[in-house]
Each structure stands twice: as C-alpha cells, then as structure tokens.
Amino acid sequence: MFMGIDPGRDKCGVAVLTAAGEIKFQRVEATEALDGVIKSLAAEFPIEAVILGDGTTHKAAASKVTAAGLSFQLVDEKHTTEEARRLYWKKNPPRGWRKLLPTSMQVPPEPVDAIVAEILVRRYLEAKA
C-alpha cells in the first residue's frame, strides 16, 4: 500500500491506496497532527512507500515520514489542485442550482487536499508501471 501526502502549511491531504488504486483512507488533516497520522496509518496498513508532493513544506513532511521509519518518493504536484477539483465534481456531482453552473466555474465547498494526495499516489503508480 502507498500513502500519499499533499503537504501544506496549515493542512495536509492524506490518502492510502493499494497498488491497484483502491482507496483505503482519505482525509484532510491538520499539519501539526501529521506525525501522529503517519504513525497511526503505518500501524494500520502495510505502507510500502509514502508519496509526497514536491510543493509547499514538503521538506518538513519528509522529515516526519523518515522519523516514522518510512521511505518516501517525491512526485511533481504541478496542476494537481485543478485535477483534484475536477475529480471532486466527478465524485460529488453538483445538485440543485449548482447543476446550472459549469463545474469549471465552481469551487468545491470543502478542501480538495485529500484528493490531491490520491492523485499523487496514482501518478506515482502510473510512472512505476
């Protein structure tokens, strides 16, 4: 299994996926709680590697990953937020009046960092295949 982390200053997206791409865990966590989240997920799932986005605060997140005894790989996170917004609307189609507006003009009502973490793992798995 692979853990994806989209590191940020205040919050981080975290996702755990199987090698086949099945999502086992996906949530937005406070950055200050990342240490505990990593350790908890590593105890719950057999994590092969952690996939980190190479953007904001990735060095701080990388040190937390290595402190937990896990290895990590950096993945380019260029355009992942835009991709995550599109994926959010696929997973959560607009309802009511929102159906009248193109999703490209809408901002999801919740953070998409966890979806970014999923995308990072999927990018890693595609590159590895």
Give pLDDT tens digits for 97-123.
Answer: 889 999 989 999 999 999 999 999 999
Give pLDDT tens digits for 28-72.
Answer: 999 999 999 999 999 999 999 999 999 878 999 999 999 999 999
Give pLDDT tens digits for 84-103.
Answer: 999 999 999 999 988 999 99
Element of type H or E holding 93 = none
* pTM of the predicted model as reported, rounded to 2 decimal places: 0.93
Residue 114: predicted pLDDT? 97
The count of other CB atoms within 10 Å of the CB of residue 4 is 30
Give pLDDT tens digits for 63-77.
Answer: 999 999 999 999 999
> Domain locations in the chain?
2-76+111-128
The Cα–Cα gap between 98 and 5 comes to 30
Whether residue 14 is predicted with pLDDT greater than 90 in this model: the reply is yes
User: Domain 2-76+111-128: which CATH class?
Assistant: alpha beta
Whether residue 128 is predicted with pLDDT greater than 90 in this model: the reply is no
